[in-house]
Amino acid sequence: MPTVDIGDRQRGRLAASSVIRTPATRDAIAAALVRAFALGRRTGVVNPYGDGDSARRIVAVLRDLPPPATLLKKTFHTVGASHG
């Protein structure tokens, strides 16, 4: 679905190709809305923030970690130092 982004608050941020950026003036907003309605629903737009499935992938990685007690156990190593 086309989106009209008004003003410069989001300037410099990633945006899908369906985002129409426009200055915060009455005429510019009106023109952007006309363009958005003319585009209608679009398919094949890539979301630059991913596919929405990151939570499932994060949980899968966390489940594969060793037990917490193993991760929290500290090991110490003696480093050779001269006490001259």
Radius of gyration of the chain from its Cα atoms, rounded to whole angstroms: 26
Tell me the average pLDDT across 37-52. 88
Range of the domain at 12: 3-61
- Residue 28, in any domain of the structure: yes
pLDDT at residue 49, as a whole number: 87
- Residue 82, in any domain of the structure: no
Residues 6+ apart with CB under 8 A from 31: 22
User: What's the token pair of residue 9?
Assistant: 């608050």
Q: Is the pTM of the predicted complex or chain greater than 0.75?
A: no
pLDDT at residue 58, as a whole number: 95
- Residue 8, in any domain of the structure: yes
Q: State the average pLDDT for the chain.
A: 90
